[in-house]
Amino acid sequence: MPSASRHAAPPYSLSGARGTAPAPDRPRTRTGPRAWAELLRISALFTVPGDALAGAAAAGHRPGRGTVLAVGASLCLYEAGMALNDWADRAEDAVDRPHRPIPSGRITPGAALAAAATLTASGLALAACAGRPALAVATGLAATVWAYDLHLKHTPAGPAAMATARSLDLLLGAAATCGAPGTPPAGRASRPRPARPAGPGGRAPRPGAGHALPTALPAALVLGAHTCAVTHVSRHEAHGGSTTAPTAALATAAALAAAVLRTNRLPSRGRRAPAPGPRGTGRTLALTAFTGAYLRTAARPLLHAALNPSPPLTRRSVGGGIRAMIPLQAALATRAGAPLTGLAVMGLGPLARSLARKVSPT
């Protein structure tokens, strides 16, 4: 969950790799929780659970056991990308960011690589517990993260790869929620289910598992487009100098916000239009509020970076783009008819801002 110089860590994990290795006589300090918190960028973790929750809502299901497994798998794969990112960038960080955990000697390269491998295996194991569709999506997500960190981030395909990772993370929530047993469709939890004909082996087929990914794909594409725009900006955060990237990201954020609000008026296939009356009005107000929060969080720092593309303002715009994922996830869940899920996702925002003051998300 992401620079021609040093990629920060938007959505998944980002970075470039160049420079020289750390000096062999650099003093080493003892590894501690602070070093691992910096390596894994734990303040960005709060942008991850909303992917699975928005995916479940977009698929038309309430969060359940599969959603919890998807959140756990996403967190593991996200942190695997962060650890692998710094391992791959250890030479460049020795030049541009010598204070980072690996070049400063607080964490060894071997420990970071081992953490990335262990977290990847843990994420795949959790996804497997949610069913084969979830495992298939998680495998694609893990492959995308490793391919990005080890090679694609140095190529023009880097932003697209990062966008793919974030989109797959939302689809993982949809596949895991619908593929796990005991997950009721949204709004139908209290209705008795009619008996279903038994499938092969005498087992009843799970409803919705085969349609989860196509149904959630539009929401995944929205989240991926935002991620792609932020990743383009992050390529300039070490040295600044680009007005094009933040301007394009600003335009993308405005277009996505308009699309989320516009498609709210159009019921998706197989769903009812927003109900009239207080309930429908409340959903519309919540969607408007969450979309507005997304624009405020992303647009202000992007505008500052476009007017003055200095490294500090560019880094601030990347951080704003990362945090803006939370209200965007909330808006996507609300648009799908799950305003309470959107409200729960929005509750992660203050936690992310508070922790970002202690550990930078980039």
Name the 3-class secondary structure at 15.
Answer: coil
Tens digits of pLDDT across the chain (362 residues)? 544 444 444 445 444 333 334 444 444 456 688 899 999 988 888 999 999 999 999 999 999 999 999 999 999 999 999 999 999 999 988 888 898 999 999 999 999 999 999 999 999 999 999 999 999 999 999 999 999 999 998 899 999 999 999 999 999 999 999 876 555 555 444 344 444 444 444 444 444 555 778 999 999 999 999 999 999 999 888 777 789 999 999 999 999 999 999 865 444 444 544 555 556 788 899 999 999 999 999 999 999 999 999 999 999 999 899 999 999 999 999 999 999 999 999 999 888 777 777 776 66
The rounded distance, in Å, linking the Cα atoms of 172 and 73 is 9
User: pTM of the full predicted structure?
Assistant: 0.82
* Among 251, 190, 255, residue whose Cα is nearest residue 221: 255
Residue with tokens 């996403």: 74
pLDDT value at residue 128:
96
- The per-residue pLDDT for 164 is 97
| pLDDT value of residue 180 | 64
Could you tell me which residues come within 8 angstroms of residue 244 by beta carbon, excluding any fewer than 6 positions away? none
Q: What is the pLDDT of residue 262?
A: 86
The dihedral through the CA atoms of 86, 91, 97, 103 has a sign that is positive
Which pLDDT does position 237 carry in this prediction?
80
Task: Kindly write down the DSSP assignment for every residue of 231-297, as one continuous string.
Answer: HHHHTTTTT---SHHHHHHHHHHHHHHHHHHHHTTSPPTT-PPPPSSHHHHHHHHHHHHHHHHHHHH
156 burial level (CB within 10 Å; 0-12, 13-18, 19+):
exposed
Distance CA 215, CA 57 (A): 10
Q: What is the pLDDT of residue 117?
A: 97
Query: 350, 353, 314, 339: which is closest to 57 by C-alpha?
Result: 339
Query: Which pLDDT score is estimated for 241?
Result: 79
What pLDDT score was predicted for residue 210? 58
